[in-house]
Structure 1
Amino acid sequence: MSQYPGATYYVSPQGDDRWSGALPEPNATGSDGPFATPAKARDAVRAREDRSAPMTVLLRGGTYFLEEPLRFEPADSGTADAPITWAAYPGELPVLSAGQRVGGWEETELICKPPDNWEDEPEIPRRAWVTQMEGPAFRQLWVNGGRRYRPRLPHRGLYKTTGLPPGAKPRGEFSGCFTQYRVDPEILGEWRHPGQVEFVMVMRWLECRMPIQAVDRETGLVDTVTGAPFLPAKHWESREWERFYLDNVFEALLEPGGWYLDQQESKLYYLPYPEETLETTEVVAPRFPYVILVAGDPDADNYLEYLHFQGLTLAHNEWHKPEGQPWWGFKGNQSVDGQAAVSVPGAFEAVGMRHSRLSHCTMAHVGTYGIQLGRGCKENEVSHCDLFDLGAGGVKLGTVSMEDTEISGHNTIADCHIHDGGLFHHSAVGLWIGQSGHNLIAHNEINHLHYSGVSVGWCWNLDPTGSHDNVLEYNHIHDIGQGWLSDMGGVYTLGDSPGTVLRYNLIHHVRHGEFGGRGIYHDAWCSNVLDEYNVVYRCDSECINFQHGHGNVARNNLLALGGELGVIGHACPDEDASVTLEGNILYTQGCPAVGGNYEHGEYHFRRNLYWDADGRPLRFGGLSFEEWQKQGLDQDSVIADPGSAHPGAGDFTLPDDSPALALGFKPFDLSTVGPRGKVGAGSG
């Protein structure tokens, strides 16, 4: 244990809180050994009078089912010379769980009458387990370390609404709270507990999870308890209807891995896989929202500092919106935040934490975001962490409001892998920066989410904002959206953000559900941001899109294979808009080179190279290249083949004689994007 100087305490599932905690395992007489609970170790460290040397708490392998969140306060702080470290015992994997083991199972046969539209599903007995389950309801469950899902309709894919409810009139965005929907009557079965079914509308950039109040099986009208901010139509002219699914339908409990909590009868049903047995299967249900809660007090200038976590796994939590608390951005009876599931906290939740570190930790099998460094969190580092199987997203930095007296910032998120998220709160993002500045986001891999990969800024106009001077570099962001939500970006930015730089990032395969799958999306007055040395390709919409805003510069990027709207897009132009696009390679295959409207504003397009792989004439804001140049744009740009090695496979290596080099394009190396070294618990 020489790598941990100073006093060391031990915690073990085989421990006892009556012991000293000074030994890593029980002694031969059973009179002393490690503590049994992390809370006891925390209290022992807090009570120690001599804090002049570092202290360490080492957790032996195993799962610690907490009775409440493990809470740290300013009294638990270390110092720069004597930090306090909570770490995994060498070679072992401790798990801190906010859940509970579910026992008392009995094996039985369950006959569910299949839904009316599942004609190919015979009404036959299914092997099932059942147990009494008292206490608050939960919506997520894990079996043998894997997430299991509630029964839903359709089992795969999504339905579409079929029209407007009676009396509905077209309205603008965020114009109301709509609680009635028209669907195909054939999908509305005679459900066992219709009040437990959730109508989950997948619309624009949100998912609206609305408990059902009533259904009319003749007309197809569905009334919900809570509402959505939009009527269920994408475009009034085309009457393209929104998509949805029905979650938690008992009659759809037909396949192994499904589960259903009958709240009226306090029974939990689970359909096991063939290889699962009662003797070898561990079922865990969540109990509370936080695993670790760091509670500093910025208002009193009382911070928790120099507290480090290494090699720990946090798991099995779930958050329910407190009664009476509105969703962000709305008043009244809405069902979702206005964007990014920002109300959802982290399994590791911190306020007023400074100079602290999480390294080689895992946040997995959680119902929320993995980590939130909120108000007053400064100069912290999250590195080499693995965040996956996330009910929401990965990491949140900052707050939604500038009214907070202590803005967070100067934090580093580096060498982490954030993936497989948005599994319950679909609109969550991989990494969210709200009112927070001077953060470094470097060498992360972010993939397989239902909405944006990284979101930076929280202001939809040019008002003062705390989000500025943020640097995103050497990140690998891919497989974003996955055809679910819309109006997203691999990197999504908002508001005036001077000093913010996106550089040396690899962004690809951004797929929207209906519209707006962009690689880099500078939305809603995003201003004064620099994009340079990025490779962005295979996006359903544009590789880079600008909306309003001024002072944005995109230079020396390689942008390829954009979608139907072009490689570069620009919307909502006005007299104050300004964009500089210089020294880039824009490689297309049938789509426009430049889309959008450039009638108003100030635009500087120069030294760009354009090429269409299919040899089609390129279009620039609806104009030919010659007409475009007559507007004073791209005067010294060319249309020429850059000679990329294998662009279809994502290899854009340039030959020495590429015409792009003659224009001043500077080749750059992205071979080191993503984490440097292994990530997660057990990797340090």
Structure 2
Amino acid sequence: MLCHKKIYQPISNRSITLRMKIKQMVLCSILFLQVHGYGQDTLYVAVNGSSSGTGTRQAPLGSVAEALLRARTITSEDTVHINVGPGTYLLKEPVHISEKDQHRIVIEGDPDHKPLLSGGISIAGWERTKEGWWRCKVPEVVRYGFRFEQLYVNGVRATRARTPDTGWFFVDSAKESIQHRGTGRVPEYATQVIFTRPANLHTLRKPDPEDPEIVAGFYHKWDYTRKPVVFLDRDSGRLFTGGTGMASWNPLQKGSRFILENYKAALTAPGEWFLGRTGYLYYIPREGEKMETAEAYAPALTQLVTITGTAGHLVKDKIFRNISFAHAADRMPAGGNDPMQAAAEIDAAIRVDWAENIVFENCEVMHTGNYAFWLRRAVKNSTITHSFIYDAGGGGIKIGETGLPAEGTPLTERLLIENNIIRHIGMLFPNAVGIVVFNAANNRILHNVIADSRYTGISLGWMWGYTVTKQYTTYLDAQGRLQYANDKALKNPSVNNEVAYNEIHHIGWGELSDMGAVYTLAESPGTHIHNNVIHDVYAYDYGGWGLYTDEGSSDILLEDNLVYACKSGGFHQHYGRNNTVRNNIFAFGHLQQLDFTRVEPHRSFSFTNNIILMDHGTMFHGPWDKGNILMEENCYWSMNAAAPLFMTQPFSSWRQHKDKGALFADPLFKDPLHGDFSFKSLKTARKIHFRPFDYKKAGVYGSGDWIRKSKMSGDEINAFRGIIREREKSYSAYYR
């Protein structure tokens, strides 16, 4: 027994020791897996973090880029959360996500204190000048050749020195000399001479040695063109520009307008700035601004985020939540910015290619020189929701490629753009669009607010005409080069898109022409535009419409929309086939209520069960009486004492020969002149089989703060109405 005791005791001690060691090893393994195997599934980023940090709350990393690199080392397949602390992060380069980032990753900030990812540099060291301006030295200008074309002071976009300070000058005439024709529709290189009144150039009589290149910005119909001025003759009123030739369908000509910017003598108004060759930045403060404490940023990066996969390796499952982005730059190319509908070639602060299940939720994109988002090539099943886009130099969101995808390249499709606010856009490129769908299909654009834009609200499609040859459209060849499809019969890929419950208002601002709150192109079966509220669309000249089916728009259903207070009418079809326009309310068009352009042998559209209310202008414009249009059971009413004519006919003749079952009767709205289109009684509506719809469901939804954020201020609305009152001798009572 003693012998057994002697033998047993040491074994027991060794067993206990072994068990303790095993427990310690297991515990260490668990900790190791939590930190390394499971990858520390939450990485922390803070403004006071460091690249040498471990990514814990106590030792955070210093940037999102560092956190993404750290996440690549995680071997588990769990979701990685990157928690970004509040504050401003000045990006040295765009946040780049590629196929190497294989985890599901959530990059998230505090919803009440969103972190700001800025593509700018901070500007400080201001001193007062003898002129009463303020200036500071930006050493990067001379040291590195760095130049910037936008500036933001105290969260407000400053204006690069320009003349005139408001409005524009007019072109008297323009001549072009083609140097190289090339093979495209537009000359590859040409020089232009722009003639204007010599008095318009008086501020340029004494060039300043600090002046870099002077830039001319031209407004012509639906386009905006920027060109460097290569020479000017002040005495004769001539400006000389060069680069790509003018488009024959929309050249600069008499009546085109322009501004001149980027020279020191134009620095005259509060809020203007000028950057000289020597690196001095000059600024005239706005009333109440104290430059000693001002926060100023100059954008340095064009992109803030790029998500780029490849054909064989899509980037998947990346979520940005509660993040603010700001200060993305636009820089004019050496030859200027050529005219392009919808500012289609302007890049975006956030660009996505070859990706799936990408989400931006409760984010902000502000103070950009370009568009906010571009979900461009082969992007699928992705979402932008509950996000705020504000003060964009370009537009809001671009979807799809401008050229037809190359053979074998998947189409961008099945995107959801919902519950977003897009306001105050087109600040540099007035031809930019709130949401534009190029070549992309099966997308849903729901419950967004688009307001305070200089051009079209939502644009669908990127082909002009029907599926026939000789249509000038573009596509990408096998080498990815953009080609003109002069003799190809191409089919529009932009089909089956839904635009619903959006509120689009106060767009145009009298700057460009030929726009629509919702604009469509080409054959688009399955596309459904419904339950939108559209109002206050005002173009410079012609073409401020609510719903606008342009070149070749076909097989589109437009129903249950409320459209009012549009300069050129609530609906216009240029040309198209088999569209359906039914159960809409069109009211208070300034020039006319309804517009139509091209008579064709086929059925252009059906127009049934709609209510048309007027108090100004005419009922129709264009050959409605000659067009192949099915019209039935529409209700017309004028709030004026005199009954309007229906294409030179009295209503009785119109009803008999063109619009069977139509009524000329009060639709019995409660208070339409103040925006209340609910019914006092359905007596009239029932007679034309009009189905009432709840237009108050349009727009964003959610908290009271979110809904209030979508509203324009009284001062902004009055400024919009002031443009109309200034330019029109008479106008609708809606604007009084």
Q: 1:638 to 1:20 in 2, by over 3 A?
A: same
Matched with 1:192 is 208
Is the CA contact (8 Å cut-off) linking 2:177 and 2:192 kept in structure 1?
no
- 3-state DSSP class of the match of 2:569? coil
87, 107, 110: which one pairs with 1:86? 107
2-structure distance, mates of 1:597, 1:6: 69
- Cα offset for 1:102? 2.1
Give the superposition deviation at 1:258.
1.5
Of the three residues 255, 260, 265, the one matched with 2:274 is 260
Partner of 1:159: 169
Contact 1:179–1:227, Cα closer than 8 Å, also in 2:
no
Is the 2:349–2:372 Cα contact (8 Å) retained in structure 1? yes
The code of the aligned residue for 1:12 comes to: A
Distance change (3 Å), C-alpha of 1:39 and 1:586: same
The residue correspondences of 1:489-508 to structure 2 (distance < 5 A) are: 489-508=516-535
Q: Distance in 1 between matches of 2:390 and 2:273?
A: 21
SS at structure 2 position matched to 1:376: strand
1:276-425 → structure 2 map (5 Å cutoff): 276-297=289-310, 300-320=311-331, 335-404=337-406, 405-425=409-429
Could you tell me which amino acid in structure 2 is paired with residue 567 of structure 1?
Q
Moved over 6 A (4+): 231-236
Give 1:278 deviation, angstroms. Answer: 4.9
Which of 671, 674, 682 matches 1:649?
A: 674
Paired amino acid for 1:127 = W
Q: Please say which of residues 215-224 and 439-448 is displaced more in the overlay.
A: 215-224
Q: Could you tell me which of 485, 491, 494 is aligned with 2:512? A: 485
2:251 counterpart of 1:251: no
The code of the aligned residue for 1:131 comes to K
Distance 1:336 1:619, change over 3 A: farther
Query: For structure 1, which segment, 610-619 or 402-411, has the greater mean C-alpha deviation from structure 2 after superposition?
Result: 610-619
Matched, 1:101 2:112: no
Residues of 1 paired with 2:216 and 2:430: CA distance?
Answer: 14
Query: What residue in structure 1 maps to residue 219 of structure 2?
Result: 202
Query: Which residue among 60, 67, 73 is the counterpart of 1:41?
Result: 67
Q: Which residue of 2 aligns with 1:673?
A: 698
Match of 1:116 in 2: none
How far apart, in 2, do the equivalents of 1:142 and 1:502 lie? 37
State the distance in 1 between where 2:697 and 2:663 align.
Answer: 31
| Partner Cα separation in structure 1 for residue 331 and residue 53 of structure 2 | 37
Matches within 5 A, 1:114-129: 125-129=131-135
Query: What is the alpha-carbon distance in structure 2 between the residues aligned to residue 620 and residue 303 of structure 1?
Result: 57
Identical aligned pairs, as a percentage? 29
TM-score by length of 2: 0.81
- Label 1:234 to 1:180 Cα distance change in 2 as closer, same or farther (>3 A): closer
Kindly indicate whether residue 621 of structure 2 is the aligned counterpart of residue 607 of structure 1: no
Shift of 1:272: 3.0
Distance 1:272 1:358, change over 3 A: same
| Residue matched to 1:74 | 99
Indicate how the Cα distance of structure 1 residues 488 and 178 shifts in structure 2: closer, same or farther if over 3 A, else same: farther
Deviates more, 1:492-501 or 1:333-342: 333-342
Quick one: which amino acid aligns to residue 438 of structure 1? N
The corresponding residue for 1:118 is: none
**SS of residue matched to 1:343:** coil
- The structure where helix makes up a greater share of residues is 2
Residues 272 and 374 from structure 1, CA distance in 2 versus in 1: closer, same or farther, beyond 3 angstroms? same
Shift of 1:255: 2.8
- The whole-number CA distance in structure 2 between the counterparts of 1:622 and 1:249 is 54
**2:496 counterpart residue number:** 469
Q: Aligned partners of 2:622, 2:291: CA distance in 1, in Å?
A: 60
Q: Check whether the contact 2:174–2:252 (CA below 8 A) recurs between aligned residues.
A: no
Summarize deviations over 1:288-334 as a string: whole Å, max 9, x none: 2100100111xx331111110000011111133666xxxxxxxxx67
Larger Cα Rg: Structure 1 or Structure 2? 2
SS in 2 for 1:653: strand
Equivalent of residue 15 in structure 1, options 30, 49, 59: 49
d(CA) in 2 for partners of 1:360 and 1:90? 8
Letter in 2 for 1:559: F
In structure 2, distance between residues paired with 1:640 and 1:175: 51
Answer yes or no: is the 8 Å Cα contact 2:625–2:658 preserved in 1: no
Hey, what's the Cα distance between the residues in 1 that align with 2:595 and 2:556?
16
Structure with the bigger RCO (C-alpha within 8 Å, sep 6+) is 1
Residues 505-514 or 217-226, more deviating: 217-226
Letter paired with 2:570: C
Structure 1 unaligned residues grouped into runs of 5+? 27-32, 111-124, 169-173, 324-332
Work out whether 1:220 is the aligned partner of 2:220: no
599-608 vs 433-442, which moves further: 599-608
The structure 2 residue matched to 1:591, chosen from 594, 617, 639, is: 617
State the match for 1:182 in structure 2.
195
Residues 1:510 and 2:569 aligned together? no
Cα distance in 2 for partners of 1:528, 1:178 equals 43
CA contact (8 A) 1:460 1:494 kept: yes
> Any conservation in 1 of the 2:580–2:606 contact (CA below 8 Å)?
yes
SS in 1 for 2:373: strand
Cα deviation digits, residues 576-616 of structure 1 (max 9, x gap): 34210000001112322232114665211001001111133
Cα distance in 2, alignment partners of residues 519 and 67 from structure 1: 43
Match status 1:132 vs 2:138 = yes
| TM-score normalised by length of structure 1 | 0.87
Deviations 1:418-446 (A, max 9, x none): 01000011110000101011111111000
